Chains A and B, each alone.
Chain A
């Protein structure tokens, strides 16, 4: 039933010291938790791990975890022992596959050499630093409180602890200039990391940032500038020896790619633990209740924390396959395109959005201009 799909685990840590203005993820500051204590995190997630283990066992699913990812929120707000205990809970429930990748997202401000060493000792293999920008004024617009000067130090400490290191960047913030962005890219170059993710800022409805832009307090992100920034980033990363393997991800080699993210793009299976986490198992997707208090109540009562779910239809699955597959360097097999979409391929090549050579080899692989309009390409192929 599971075919040759791998199984991953995502653990959502829904806490933040302050909420960033651009963020619409499921996170809560201490005052918003309404009695769901941060200190009980390990127990709550532990309860869901037990639920997951018995459900998978009931379906004779004996797969071990290939990857684990702690995201947030700010996972490193937790005492390091909480993360380590959760890793060990996951390991004893499912087992880890050979060379399993275990990543923790980290705020450069909330970790030090000691913390990073403890992570490595506790089975974590990889850390992803939320650097976002090297420019204080840009960080201020994003409500990020960390001091960019600390970044080289923590990256170095992580390396010394034996952790693989990735950095996350955000570009195209209101007011950010091309020179600001260049400064962030130079910082990344100086770090010599093996992996980088660069995301263009998306102004989401309902965020403080969106309100500020609506009120005219901040300029709207300029899409032309964001496109230029993407092109600049791609060129800079290439110069650093990192090549793109997913729209927003660059890596030094195949080995250093984020295997956890690849599991999403390749539509593998994963169980999402924690408040608001999304899961995908076989034909089914579901997501947990959002608020940590509601989540805690469910799992501690031995009930499933799922809020809702869906089994995508054939059409929906096709759309998902195309949108996920085309984001990757390996592309999407033309043989799996629908007949009317195949007729569109030649025009996409002519428009310079799809790599002609790869198409002759039977795959839809986006060119650089194509990556910038990937959603439009997907709409034309579905």
Chain B
């Protein structure tokens, strides 16, 4: 093991040439957090006893799912040949939904460790992030992890990595985050290979925000990488996109607990606290400058995060609506990309229409709402933004089928993505079939090593937000991985299908689908609802319609008998209790016109179940 640094360098007075900024690019379960933990231990900034698994992933959900949602930067000392360096490790999110955050994290680094599981090989998301890193001119250090596993095949995957980024398979470092093998050598390589940051120490301060998180006690904590100049304690700073000015209450580095410093100089990475309570005041990608002597030019690459997936979130118990509102208000403080507005649904009551970066983002937010706020939620089928132009040449953005304009439609444009699917080559046929059924357009195929293939598709986002990933996984026995990126939009023959109960539209089931699939959707939903909705005292037609045209129909026959024959031996109590129980059940029914529908039926239909689960 390399010696631990005896005299760590002081922030604000560290020369850029003694700084190395790097991140780790890895797929969800390829062991990034475990490797980071080992680095913390080996560099001595976390002692062996206080080490807990995946130290950097603070949120419970992150730790349980083994994924990183919020990145963090850690400063670690490292000594080579008597010379001390400050290594800043910037932990990047690993999922497609957070591409923008990833790109900002990468922009804060000069190098990246490409970490790949030696038993699994590279995955589509890693590939996507690797492209991003190479586009940012980052120096890549290829590393195979988990070499201690019996299933590891380092020879095979070293070859694959070498092919991918150029270089020789022998140059691929082999480590085990679990046992620590190879980790000191890796830290040495970081110092040797990754260039030191460069910047103008005398220019007006410019620092890029690559993350901001909300802390209940301290307010927003903003993570920055200083490009030019210097940031000092008590300095008045300005956000260049909003021109908002704040005083720095605290500035420092994470090591990995926050340590206040005398400031941050060129090339340094650390945190700022201004007392602001809302992360929207501190946007990822924005440039921090001095408010008295501001820089004239902001750093490049800032964009507002764009919601690409929309879904209605409803509390299962209607009385939880205020709790949901409060919970969203709180989550918004720590998640600048979450947006929402109140919405009402005939079927589901009061809720919120929420915009998300992607499907995982939706899933994470729903899970946090349920876990951290004790809410029971139902999410409507995810939708994407459509540009609908009516005959009178007005264009509206439709993120919710219920906003779809009536009357004649001139054209509809839908968002497209470029999807990259990585899988063993045996599954090519199954993947092609799936993508074709989702209106995908094959752009190309690349082979990796001997047995894996990357398939690139142009595909409407609306086709993959629903259950595409589930189908992909089940058709490839879980081997396929998926990544996608924005690829503009296209005109498409889309229609809105409404589902009606006794002539009343059930808003939660309206969907915007391709005309060729409208019939299938109508049949699917009417059949599903027929199975789920209990019989009523009258006949209930279930119809699917495009405008006024009925495309599918089912009928729930009227209930013929709903009476208990006997109250034996005068046991009135039992019968009364039975009726009370039934009435209790009725209270939880939602009314669509005169039709009583148990909320579980709506939920089951939205979740694609054909049966209401037994309580």
**Total residues of chain B contacting the partner, CB 8 A:** 25
Q: Are the CB atoms of B564 and A375 closer together than 8 Å?
A: yes
| A259: Cβ under 8 A from any B Cβ | no
Q: Given A312-B576, A319-B576, A351-B538, are A379 and B582 also a contact pair (CB < 8 Å)?
A: yes
| B615: Cβ under 8 A from any A Cβ | no
Q: Are the CB atoms of B567 and A264 closer together than 8 Å?
A: yes
| B579: Cβ under 8 A from any A Cβ | yes
Q: Given A379-B579, A379-B582, are A200 and B573 also a contact pair (CB < 8 Å)?
A: no
Q: Are the CB atoms of A373 and B563 closer together than 8 Å?
A: yes
Out of A224, A277, A375, which one reaches B563, CB within 8 Å? A375
Contact partners of A12 in chain B: CB under 8 A? 569
Complex CA gap A247/B565 in Å reads: 7
Contact partners of B562 in chain A: CB under 8 A? 372-376
Q: Are the CB atoms of B571 and A320 closer together than 8 Å?
A: no
- Shortest Cβ distance from A13 into chain B, in angstroms? 11
| B580: Cβ under 8 A from any A Cβ | yes
| A256: Cβ under 8 A from any B Cβ | no
| B570: Cβ under 8 A from any A Cβ | yes
Contact partners of A115 in chain B: CB under 8 A? none
Q: Are the CB atoms of A319 and B579 closer together than 8 Å?
A: yes
Complex CA gap A319/B572 in Å reads: 11
Q: Are the CB atoms of A223 and B561 closer together than 8 Å?
A: yes
Q: Are the CB atoms of B560 and A223 closer together than 8 Å?
A: yes
- Shortest Cβ distance from B530 into chain A, in angstroms? 16
Complex CA gap A239/B586 in Å reads: 38
Q: Are the CB atoms of B563 and A379 closer together than 8 Å?
A: no
CB nearest neighbor in B for A72: B569
Contacting residues of chain A (268-307) with chain B, CB-CB under 8 angstroms: 270, 272, 277-280, 285, 287
Contact with A along B566-603 (1 / 0, CB 8 A): 11111111011001101100100000000000000000
Complex CA gap A199/B561 in Å reads: 13
Contacting residues of chain A (367-382) with chain B, CB-CB under 8 angstroms: 371-376, 378-379, 382
Q: Are the CB atoms of A373 and B537 closer together than 8 Å?
A: yes
Contact partners of A319 in chain B: CB under 8 A? 576, 579-580
Q: Are the CB atoms of B569 and A25 closer together than 8 Å?
A: yes
Q: Are the CB atoms of A199 and B579 closer together than 8 Å?
A: no
Contact partners of B566 in chain A: CB under 8 A? 199, 202, 248
Q: Are the CB atoms of B565 and A202 closer together than 8 Å?
A: yes
Q: Could you say which interface size class chain A belongs to?
A: 35 or more
Q: Are the CB atoms of B538 and A379 closer together than 8 Å?
A: no
Contact partners of A382 in chain B: CB under 8 A? 579, 583
Q: Are the CB atoms of A227 and B582 closer together than 8 Å?
A: no
CB nearest neighbor in B for A348: B537
| A96: Cβ under 8 A from any B Cβ | no
Q: Are the CB atoms of A351 and B537 closer together than 8 Å?
A: yes
Out of A199, A310, A374, which one reaches B573, CB within 8 Å? A310
Contact partners of A379 in chain B: CB under 8 A? 579, 582-583, 586
| B80: Cβ under 8 A from any A Cβ | no
Contact partners of A312 in chain B: CB under 8 A? 573, 576
Q: Are the CB atoms of A278 and B576 closer together than 8 Å?
A: no
Q: Given A10-B570, A320-B572, are A226 and B579 also a contact pair (CB < 8 Å)?
A: no
Contact partners of B575 in chain A: CB under 8 A? 323
| B559: Cβ under 8 A from any A Cβ | yes
Q: Given A278-B570, A351-B537, are A376 and B579 also a contact pair (CB < 8 Å)?
A: no
- Shortest Cβ distance from B396 into chain A, in angstroms? 40
Q: Are the CB atoms of B561 and A264 closer together than 8 Å?
A: no
Out of A10, A227, A285, A373, which one reaches B569, CB within 8 Å? A10
Q: Given A287-B571, A375-B562, are A323 and B579 also a contact pair (CB < 8 Å)?
A: yes
Counting from the closest, the 7 A-B pairs by CB-CB distance are A227-B560, A199-B565, A374-B563, A373-B562, A227-B561, A376-B562, A223-B561
- 21 A-B Cβ contacts within 8 A? A25-B568, A223-B561, A224-B561, A227-B561, A247-B565, A248-B565, A277-B569, A278-B570, A278-B572, A310-B573, A312-B573, A316-B576, A323-B579, A324-B572, A351-B537, A372-B563, A373-B562, A374-B563, A376-B559, A376-B562, A379-B583
Give A residues with C-beta under 8 Å from B. Answer: 10, 12, 25, 71, 199-200, 202, 223-224, 226-228, 230, 247-248, 264, 267, 270, 272, 277-280, 285, 287, 310, 312, 316, 319-320, 323-324, 351, 353, 371-376, 378-379, 382
With A230-B561, A376-B562 already in contact, 13 other A-B pairs whose C-beta atoms are closer than 8 Å:
A202-B566, A227-B561, A228-B560, A264-B567, A278-B570, A287-B573, A310-B573, A316-B580, A324-B572, A372-B562, A375-B562, A376-B559, A379-B586
Give B residues with C-beta under 8 Å from A. Answer: 537-538, 557, 559-573, 575-576, 579-580, 582-583, 586
